[in-house]
């Protein structure tokens, strides 16, 4: 997800649209400060474990540039 403030949120969910709605309405933490959020990239994985591994990998980079490369399909994960 991205916000108008230029922030990215990386997460995994079985229902990305429901999660997006949650972050735009209910969540009180980090995501509430940068509303509204929009879904700009998603990918389905065969298992929850695989999705969480990819999420961890992206978060470990701590790099806006790398996140944008994933979004632009310059990096395959």
pLDDT tens for the chain, 77 residues: list them: 888 888 999 999 999 999 999 999 997 888 999 999 999 999 999 999 999 999 999 999 999 999 999 999 999 88
Q: How far apart are CA 14 and CA 64, in angstroms?
A: 24
Predicted model pTM: 0.84
Nearest to 35 by CA among 47, 51, 48, 24: 24
């Amino acid at each position: 997800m991205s916000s108008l403030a230029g922030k990215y949120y990386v997460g995994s969910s079985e229902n990305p649209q429901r999660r997006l709605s949650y972050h735009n309405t209910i969540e009180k933490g980090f995501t509430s400060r940068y509303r509204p959020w929009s879904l700009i990239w998603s990918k389905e994985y065969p298992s929850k474990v695989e999705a969480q591994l990819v999420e961890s990998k992206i978060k470990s980079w701590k790099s806006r540039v790398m996140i944008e490369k994933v979004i632009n399909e310059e990096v395959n994960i």
